[in-house]
Structure 1
Amino acid sequence: MLASPTRQVFHQTDRDQAADHFFKWASSEHWNPGHKGLDIKLLHSADPKGFFFSTVDPPSNTTTTEQLHPEKDEVVSIVSAVRYGEDQGWIGYYIASPKYRGRGYGIATWNRAIDHLTPDTRESIGLDGVMTQVENYRKSGFTQSSWLNERRHGSAVDLVEKQERELADKISRNEVEGLVLLSDPQVDLDQLPGIETKYCGLKRPQFVKDWALFHANHPEEHRVGVAILSSDKKDEKSGKPLVLGYACVRPAISSYRVGPVYAVDGDVAKKLLVKLAVDVVSAEKQSPLGVPLMFDIDIPDKNPAAVKMFDGLGWKNTFPCLRMWKGKIPDHDVNGVFGVTTLEVG
């Protein structure tokens, strides 16, 4: 007897469903998502209609010789498709259940995500593609690329206690001029979206400020956001010091995820990175979270200063992926990108 046809059903997630499904699935794929899925809840708020999962109505009649079918309400694939303004979008968390791969469930969910992003013509849709899927993404129209991300992996403890001990000691004594937490009232958060647009091309002002506050105001969760401020230049609108660079770190499952790190040069970037390590190592000593004190940061291969800095630290490239675009590559200055925000949403 042949099985009756199956029907794939697409669902938009609410905030808690996103944190549940996307955290569990990303963890199962060893993507190292943020601790307890808290960052996924924030990502969901960037576009509450842009997180999808799909289920399949099982056939009403099957034989024992037929292939395995999903149970009713069993999730078979997930994807996020986040809109940024009127002309940008981002694809992430594209995963099909390993049990049912090769059945078309994943590509059907992918198409639903693309439909979400293109009712009005967006000039740029981006994704960070794992190398094994690059050709498939090209077939789907992602024919442009801006750089290759290199995931650099290193010890926060070694950074503080060995590799950059002198700088770390100065930071601990508050002797590095202009280096402050993002929660410091001197920091003009309205400058941060412009910094991201300049360096990586994404235009998402509310998300950038929400991301900064997510890291700035929760030391109990070992999340840290820092900035370096100019000593002599001020923003024309706010009158506050110009932000020369800023950086964030958050705990994940097997390490701490760093991102973004935007900076005017390698000296500023290194001070930001070491400050993040100083604060994370100190937080773990005072209130152990249990996350390994290792840092993972995704850097663009086309920024020679970033490559030089992490090569000098001996941090190896453990996971390459290609930043790809459908449509126009946004204007950007990659020389200011020492770490992207996150592969999942750009």
Structure 2
Amino acid sequence: MAESHLPLVTEWARREGFCPGVGDTGVYRHTDAAGLWVGCLGEEPVGCIAGIRYDERYGFIGLFLVRPAFRGRGYGVALWRQALAHLDGVACIGLEAAPERLIDYSHWGFKAAYNTLRWRLPSASRARCSGGQLPAGFAVVAAAELGADAGSNELVLTYDARHEATPRPHFLGEWLRQDSGTVELVRDELGCCRGFGRIRPCLLPDDAGAVGWRLGPLLADAPPLAGALLDRLCSERSGPVLIDAPEVNPRAHRLLEQRGFQIAGRTVRMYRGTPPELPLGDIYGLACLELG
């Protein structure tokens, strides 16, 4: 995938309802430059896929689509095989599957682990994202306010590494630095990170000019910390907010419902290989479904 393909692939993703965040596709490409492809017939791009190799332990497949006019001809299988070949030898591979694709992916050795729910906050419910009370000794701080000298990125990277299948400093480092996004973190009285979240504008499928917000990741040690982060990130945004949360975390379910979020879709997290052991009770929102 060349840099010139990014606007085209982003528009494909918008039309499919992926709701990509502004700048997301460029981050995907920089995470593993050899792990994104566009499939072409001659000079005409017809589909794309990402097969991101984080390290020898973990990889993820996403951003997988073929333009509607070219489906049913085997082009998706060709892209799929390309991604799997790139991830050959990786101990565990993850993906997010549409429910109707579970049988297809199971033929390639993938097994369902849990559902992921997409939640949407209507603009009319925005007022409910306020008043989250932090326990004594905690504070929500904008990462930009801390500055590079305070090591805010290192605080977040260390915290994130405890909640993911494998550390992802290259991906997350660029994810946090994107100008289109805002990053907030919760610190305790010792200055340690106890949670963080990021929100950025996203492109909605409703029409070519529709803009909302995509929130993720959202990680925290406890619901009051996650709630304070959620309120801070959402309260002053106009337009709908989207967040993808593991259904197996009931604390996320309660927190989002209390603030007026509504379930807008469902995918299934699948793995080939031994699934990673994740502290799902601390995961209130995924960074993005395309890269896990």
TM-score by length of 1: 0.76
Greater relative CO, 1 or 2 (CA 8 Å, sep 6+): 2
Deviations 1:174-231 (A, max 9, x none): x9952111121345322323433322424212211221122xxx3xx4x211001011
Aligned position for 2:219: 262
* Deviation of 1:25 (Å): 1.2
Matched, 1:180 2:141: yes
Aligned position for 1:15: 3
Task: Give the alignment of 1:36-185 within 5 angstroms.
Answer: 38-56=23-41, 72-118=42-88, 121-145=89-113, 147-155=114-122, 158-159=125-126, 161=127, 163-167=128-132, 177-183=138-144, 184-185=146-147
Deviations 1:89-132 (A, max 9, x none): 110111112112111111111101110111xx111111111111
* Deviation of 1:309 (Å): 0.9
Aligned position for 1:309: 255
CA distance in 2, matches of 1:316, 1:26: 22
Q: Which amino acid aligns with 2:232?
A: K
Q: Which amino acid aligns with 2:17?
A: H
Matched, 1:251 2:229: no
CA distance in 1, matches of 2:26, 2:177: 14
CA distance in 2, matches of 1:157, 1:176: 33
CA distance in 2, matches of 1:43, 1:76: 19
- Alignment length (residue pairs): 281
Deviates more, 1:327-336 or 1:205-214: 205-214
Structure 2, unaligned stretches of length 5 or more? 205-211
**What SS does the aligned partner of 2:290 have?**
coil
Aligned position for 1:340: 286
Larger radius of gyration: 1
TM-score by length of 2: 0.89
Structure 1, unaligned stretches of length 5 or more? 1-12, 57-71, 234-240, 282-291
- Is the 1:81–1:90 Cα contact (8 Å) retained in structure 2? yes
CA distance in 2, matches of 1:208, 1:202: 12
CA distance in 1, matches of 2:67, 2:137: 49
CA distance in 2, matches of 1:197, 1:141: 27
